[in-house]
Amino acid sequence: MAEGKKPTSGVEWRINVEDGSSRTLFPEAGPTCRLWVGLKGLMAGLVSNVWSFLVKAWELGVDDPRKVIHCLKVGMALTVVSLFYYMRPLYEGVGGNAMWAIMTVVVVFENTVGATVSKSLNRVFATTLAGFLAFGVHWVAGQSGEKLEPVIIGSSVFLLASAATFSRFIPSVKQRFDYGAMIFILTFSLVTVSGYRVDKLFKLAQERVSTIIIGTSLCVLVTMLICPIWAGQELHFLIIRNMEKLANSLEGCIMEYFNPDGDHTEGEKQPDKKLLGYKCVLGSKAAEESMANFARWEPAHGRFNFKHPWQQYLKIGASMRSCAYYVEALTSCIDSETQAPEQVKKHMSNNCRKVSSNSCSVIKELVKTMKTMKKSSTIDLLVEEMNSTVQDLQNDLKHLSNAFNQPESPIPEDKKTETNTTTSAATTIPLIEVIPIVTFASLLAEVAARVQDIADAVEELGKLAEFKVADDEKPPQQNQADSRVVAGQV
């Protein structure tokens, strides 16, 4: 802008701009010019803010296209219901009843099928119930004379609104009928207040209920027929994803502990990111609860029956969180200032890795069980194997202990090769230095115990949901060999 103009004074200030060129600076600027510059700055700030917001939104959409589909579904349902009423001459001018259908669609349409169905049923039943009650009150009020009428209406609104509000605090009501209680208060107040003559009111209310039913039916149809998102399925996959994350965290933890500066390029992912997956497990309690709550409103879908035991998923989630607490404790061992000497670590590393990899095998088998929804034939064996490696780990600690207590004691023949290095290493090391690894190993054993709890919870789910036995059974020997290969690889 400035470069085109001729400078007004003989002296010229020039400034080098980032792209290499230089620009003329004008020494003075009038208030209009400064205002312009200020406005331009403001606009630029606004534009960059809006731009970064749009970029974020775009990333969100790319990350989960189903969210975009949901938005289009809402837009569609609303357009259909709007135009339906807009174009019918029946509703010309009044628009009063059209409102109820539009309002219903806006308020009831939710991301998941379960949430939409739950809100729809709540809305329809609460409206009907409150409508009938309100008629009764209205009739009684109408019979009792003009002076008493506002008193009866006022006190009934006060009492029922207070009671319904209170019911929203009761956990069992809040979980299922929170929205219904609100709609009940709303409808009751509206109907008692909105008119005098009961017969007219009845027609009005009938129309309202029918428009609400049209709105909710449209919502339920759109949400179930066009790319449905089932709360139950979401819960199922959330639990599976969290299991995988937990296994990855555990693996990452062991890798990080025994290879602190180690071969990170080997893995495909940054170990830090993998390691922190357990935090998702810790943070998904609220999501699990709300999904389990909505899932029970859903009809049978995919491999899930109407009476699928969704509550059991919460138990699995709780046992996973309980396991994640210990993984959190393990990660703090990695960052701890005091570390065991390398040779002790090296000695213990083998069995620690085995416990970890066996625990991971159990979790991965559970993931498989959940994914296929078929009873695993190898899970008991894998749990047993995990427990036996935990026993090995504890024996390791015992050997470490023996090394301290009786350095001169005869080592049993069969253990000789295994404990040899320990003995020689440990006798030169004070106990205080092995404390970190002892803690680490104990925590690891606790993790394994928690993994068994998860396995129990999944087994319970299998019983409740009547999982079938897997067809593609491998002979147990081969599986055992598999898990050993995994153990060796980690």
Least separation in angstroms between residue 98's CB and its own copies is 6
Q: Is 214 in the site for its own copies (CB under 8 A)?
A: no
CB 91 within 8 A of CB 97: yes
Alpha-helical (H) ranges within 276-415 are 278-283, 285-295, 310-335, 342-372, 379-405
Phi, psi (5° rounding) for residue 22? -120, 150
| Residue that the structure tokens 């406005």 belong to | 39
Which of the ranges 3-11, 15-23, 251-259, 435-443 carries the binding residues for its own copies, by CB under 8 A? 435-443
Using the minimum distance from each CB to its own copies, give the nearer residue, 44 or 163: 163
Least separation in angstroms between residue 273's CB and its own copies is 20
* Residue type present at position 315: K
- Distance, in Å, from the CA atom of 400 to the CA atom of 348, rounded to the nearest integer, reads 9
Site map (CB under 8 A) of its own copies, residues 376-395, x = contact: ------------------x-
Which listed residue (239, 295, 400, 448) binds its own copies by CB under 8 A? 400
CB 87 within 8 A of CB 183: no
For residue 183, give the H/E element and its range: helix 171-194
For its own copies (CB under 8 A), the number of binding residues is 82
Which of the ranges 218-226, 231-239, 262-270, 278-286 carries the binding residues for its own copies, by CB under 8 A? 278-286
Q: Which residues, numbered 45-74, are part of the site for its own copies (CB under 8 A)?
A: 53, 56-57, 60-61, 67-68, 70-72, 74
For residue 23, give the H/E element and its range: strand 22-25
Q: Is 405 in the site for its own copies (CB under 8 A)?
A: yes
CB 256 within 8 A of CB 353: no
Q: Which residues, numbered 315-344, are part of the site for its own copies (CB under 8 A)?
A: 322, 325-326, 328-329, 332
Using the minimum distance from each CB to its own copies, give the nearer residue, 433 or 482: 433
Q: Is 167 in the site for its own copies (CB under 8 A)?
A: yes
Residue in 222, 186, 227 with CA at minimum distance from that of residue 108: 222
Helices 113-143 and 171-194 pack at an angle, to 10 degrees, of 40
For residue 45, count CB atoms less than 10 angstroms from its CB and return exposed for 0-12, middle for 13-18, buried for 19 or more. exposed
Q: Is 86 in the site for its own copies (CB under 8 A)?
A: yes
Which listed residue (26, 129, 189, 280) binds its own copies by CB under 8 A? 189
Least separation in angstroms between residue 190's CB and its own copies is 6
Which of the ranges 86-94, 119-127, 225-233, 297-305 carries the binding residues for its own copies, by CB under 8 A? 86-94
- Distance, in Å, from the CA atom of 137 to the CA atom of 373, rounded to the nearest integer, reads 53
Which listed residue (401, 456, 465, 486) binds its own copies by CB under 8 A? 401
441's tokens: 């190993």
Using the minimum distance from each CB to its own copies, give the nearer residue, 218 or 443: 443
Which of the ranges 12-20, 410-418, 427-435, 454-462 carries the binding residues for its own copies, by CB under 8 A? 427-435
Phi, psi (5° rounding) for residue 329? -65, -40
Q: Is 178 in the site for its own copies (CB under 8 A)?
A: no
